[in-house]
Every structure is written in C-alpha cells, then in structure tokens.
Amino acid sequence: MTGTEKTGAEGPPPKYTLCSLWTEFSLTTGIHGFNKISPSGRISYRGLLWILAISGATAFLIYNLVKEFGDYYSYPTATKVTNKVQSSIEFPAVTICNRCPLNKTRLNVNPHIESYFQTSSLLKRFNKQGTFNFTDSRYSDLRQPLSLDWWTNMSMDGSSLLHECYFGGDNIDCATHFQPVFTDEGLCHTFNFNVSDIVNVNNAGNAANFIIIYNIAQRYYTYRENMAAGIKVLLHNPRHHPDANPTVVMAAPGFSTYVAMHKSEYVYLPDPYMAFDDTTCVDTTSTTFVNPLKHYSPYTYDHCFMECVQIKAFNVCGCVGPADPQPDVPICSLEKQDTCYTAFVREMTKNITFEAECGCGIQCRFETFTAQVSSSVFPADIWSASLLNTTKAENSEFLRNNFLELRVFYDRMMVTSTKQHPQYSQSTLFSNVGGQMGLCLGASILTITEITELLVFIIFYLCDRCRGRKARNRINNW
C-alpha cells in the first residue's frame, strides 16, 4: 500500500490506472533514469530531457544487441596454432615406388608389350611417333582384359629390391614389414600401412627412425611415361591410400637421401561454422556420421574424389585400373587403358565442374607431413668393398647406378597443431549483452525480471478492466 491510497473513514481509495502502475514501476526499478521522469504524470523539461536520454540509450542498446546477436549467429571463428612436444609420435606410412615399376624381362613373354610401352612413353615426343595402332591384328592380345595377377607378375619384385631395412635402430625383415599396394605409379610397397598396430617413434633423428637400402634394378627398366631412375617416396597417413594426397619425395641411385619430416595436425569446427572460408567441413568423428564411400575407409576428401573419378571412369570405359578397389569388375586392357581410362581420369582430375559434381567435403580433422630433403653421395669409397660383397653388385659403377640409401625421420619430437575455436561462446554472448545493458541503462538480468513483472501486472490490469472489475494495486498488494 502506498501513501497515495486512502482507506476507511477518509473515503474510498483513488482510482488505480496504468499511470499509477507506471509510477510504481519507475520509482522501484533498477533501470537508471526512470525515476527522473516526473512520476506525478506532469512532464517537466527535466523529465523530457530524461525521456530523450533514456530513448537514445535504449535505441543504442537495441542497435548493439542486434549487432551482437548477428555476430554470434554468423559463427565467427578464431584459429590457434601451437607447437606441442610429445614423447611419442605416430610414424607415417612410407610407400616406395620404383620409377619403373615394370620388369622388362617379364614383359618379354609378349613381344608387342615393350613396343606398346615405348610408343606410349615420353619417347614419342622426341621421335614424333603417333599413337599405337591397336587395330593391327598382330596386337589383338593387347585388347584383352587384364587382371591384378598379370600386373603383379609383370612388375618388379619388391622383396628382392629391398636390400636392408631398419626401424628404430633395429634391423627388420623387409618382406614381412612391407606390403604390396597398387597406386597410380604401379605396384609399390608400403611400410606401416593399414595395420592393426601402427608404429610410433619415441626419438627423433636420422638414425632413430626408418632406413632402407634399395636396389632400383635399372637393367630391368622398360619405357614408361617418365625417364627418371630412382624411387618415388610417398609419406601419408597409415590409414589412407598412398594416392590420397601424400607428401612426395624423390630419391636417386648413388645417393643417400635424408627426409626430415615435421607433422602438422588440423582440427576445424563442423557445421554451422565455416572451416574453409565459405565451406563447411565433414565431421567424421560425430556419432551420427556414416561413411558414404563404398570402397574407401576412412572418409577423406581425397578418398571421396578418387572413388568418384573411378566410378565415373568405369561407367564411361567399362573397366577399371589396377589401383581401383572396385571388386568384381574387369581391369582395363592396355588398349582401353590407353585410349579411354587414363585419358578420362587425367581430364576429370583437372575439371573443376566435375569436382563440384562429386560433392566431396573436406574432413574436419586431418594431418600433413612436410619434408626437408638433403642428399650426399652413396656409398662412400671406404664402404664400396663391403657393399659390393653384401649386395653382390658387379662393380662400383653398378653399385652407384642402382643402389641408394633412404632415411625418413622426424626432425624433432614436436607436432604443430592448428585448431579452430568459436570466437563467440554462449558465455561470451551473455557477458557482452550484460555489458551493453549495464553501459546503456544500468540494467541487469534482474532488470529483465522487473520488466517481465511489469508486463504481467499490465495484463492483470487489462483483465480487470475487461471483466468490469476495479483495477487493483497488485505491485504493493502481492
């Protein structure tokens, strides 16, 4: 009950109106400036100035709140890069591909095979040769579908080319620790690939990780698309196919090649956040995620695009390459591979429109390996006699032309982590909103409760009037 009400012998209480309700609210609210407006109902110049001040502050508050909520729902992000020293780091898969994966002596069982490879190689650019004439009746066998066994039998024997293998300072059996895998290069051999027990390293340095001595066997080389001698080294995630965006290093015979690696990890936020400019990423760690790929696991952008190209190539050419994982489908003949499959795949990988049609999204978590490469002559003269004895090489010249040493290692036990964070969290939003309310009107969360209470009392007042009842002072009588 307020001092403006009179009861009992002094007569009936005055009529209670919305103005009375507003007066009660303005005198008791915690919002700054409302009590400066004349509560008597008569607006003075001072009250008018305070109305303008409160209106301006309220408009400024609304503007800032709209901007604040707009910023929050635009889902801005911040990226943090840190270097983490680790006691153990997962070692990548190391895929070794001879620059000529085919064995000339094995191809000689078909007298036309080498002629085909010579014509389809880079040599035709120098000799100005045309395309191979597959319609010639002498080459009918080149039009027959092939098999994985055929490609395996025609390829270099990886187990015989890996002369010595070491990991973690220990000598390991090359044959059991490397597995054959078909890639775009042909039949390659991979260490630490898709195994149940992926190896880790606890030390960095060129003597602590991976070392091999490899014989490229140049005497068995035949004509291919490249003219180089040596090996192509693919560094990649042990769970991913070697063709899925590896780090590539070349190593030449007669040299000891050192590959100092550094691992980087990337973690981006899933939808609704934009991970890559205006593109969202695929959250493969979500409990609701289901891998949409038929032939590759786990899901990655590169696996997705590879499968998309391979399926499209099969639909166009009716066959697949030896590196394609599609089961129960024919592998292309040399004619189909030359005239359809290889040309189609090369064209599609450069086609931006086709890339968009595949609809492949980049996964939110991935890793990369950067490599610094250095080399020196191999072997040193003092080691030639010893290696001639163990490798059964014919002479020092043969040794220098065919053998190489490769060392792959982490330069330090450190991983660079790039992680995306929300720039606005809910607590940040509430703090900013509270700060704006306090700055503009001196308001708080309790002020919202006061305004809500006022609205409730206005509703009660209107209900009393609609029912024909006398409005009551509910603020002080509740």
| Res 201 pLDDT > 80 | yes
Lowest-confidence pick of 126-140, 265-279, 289-303, 314-328:
126-140
User: Which 3 state secondary structure label does DSSP give 446?
Assistant: helix
| Res 465 pLDDT > 80 | no
Residues 6+ apart with CB under 8 A from 441: 31, 32, 33, 54, 57, 58, 61, 447
Lowest-confidence pick of 22-31, 72-81, 305-314, 329-338:
22-31
* Percent of the chain residues past pLDDT 90, beyond the cut: 50
| Res 220 pLDDT > 50 | yes
Per-residue pLDDT at 117: 77
What average pLDDT score do residues 252-277 get?
95
| Bridge partner residues of 422 (DSSP) | 77
Per-residue pLDDT at 1: 43
For the chain, give the mean pLDDT.
Answer: 86
> Residue 475 — very low, low, confident or very high, per pLDDT cuts 50/70/90?
low
CA 312 to chain centre: 24
| Res 435 pLDDT > 90 | no
Contact in structure between 95 and 181 (CB atoms under 8 Å): yes
> Residue 128 — very low, low, confident or very high, per pLDDT cuts 50/70/90?
low
Give helix then strand counts, H and E, for the chain: 17, 14
| Res 259 pLDDT > 50 | yes
What average pLDDT score do residues 381-406 get?
90
> Residue 338 — very low, low, confident or very high, per pLDDT cuts 50/70/90?
confident
Residue among 355, 362, 359 at smallest CA distance from 271 = 362
How deeply is 383 buried, as exposed, middle or buried, from its count of CB atoms within 10 A (0-12, 13-18, 19+)? exposed
What average pLDDT score do residues 251-274 get?
96
Q: Scan for tokens 């001040």, then name that residue.
A: 53
Cα(412)–Cα(407) distance, rounded to whole angstroms? 15
Bridge-based pairing of strands 210-215 and 403-422 is antiparallel
Lowest-confidence pick of 3-12, 21-30, 378-387, 427-436:
3-12
Q: Identify which has the larger pLDDT, 442 or 9.
A: 442
Cα(441)–Cα(57) distance, rounded to whole angstroms? 7
Cα(401)–Cα(229) distance, rounded to whole angstroms? 9
> Residue 3 — very low, low, confident or very high, per pLDDT cuts 50/70/90?
very low
Bridge-based pairing of strands 200-201 and 89-90 is antiparallel
Structure tokens at 60: 């400024």
What's the pLDDT tens digit per position in 155-197? 999 888 999 999 998 999 999 999 999 999 999 999 999 878 8
Per-residue pLDDT at 341: 92
Residue type, 129: Q
| Res 5 pLDDT > 70 | no
> Residue 130 — very low, low, confident or very high, per pLDDT cuts 50/70/90?
low
What's the pLDDT tens digit per position in 343-372? 899 888 888 888 889 999 999 999 999 999
Structure tokens at 14: 């005055």
| Res 121 pLDDT > 80 | no
Within 13 A of 391's CA, how many CA atoms are on the CB side?
27
| Res 466 pLDDT > 60 | yes
What's the pLDDT tens digit per position in 32-41? 777 777 655 5
**CA dihedral (315, 320, 325, 329) positive or negative:** positive
Within 13 A of 449's CA, how many CA atoms are on the CB side?
5
Residue among 13, 25, 28 at smallest CA distance from 472 = 13
Per-residue pLDDT at 126: 58
Which regions of 299-444 does DSSP assign to beta strands (E)?
365-377, 403-422
| Bridge partner residues of 408 (DSSP) | 210, 259
Q: Identify which has the larger pLDDT, 96 or 459.
A: 96
Cα(238)–Cα(86) distance, rounded to whole angstroms? 19
Cis peptide before 272 (omega within 30 of 0): yes
What's the pLDDT tens digit per position in 76-119? 999 999 999 999 999 999 999 999 999 988 887 777 777 777 77
Contact in structure between 341 and 326 (CB atoms under 8 Å): no
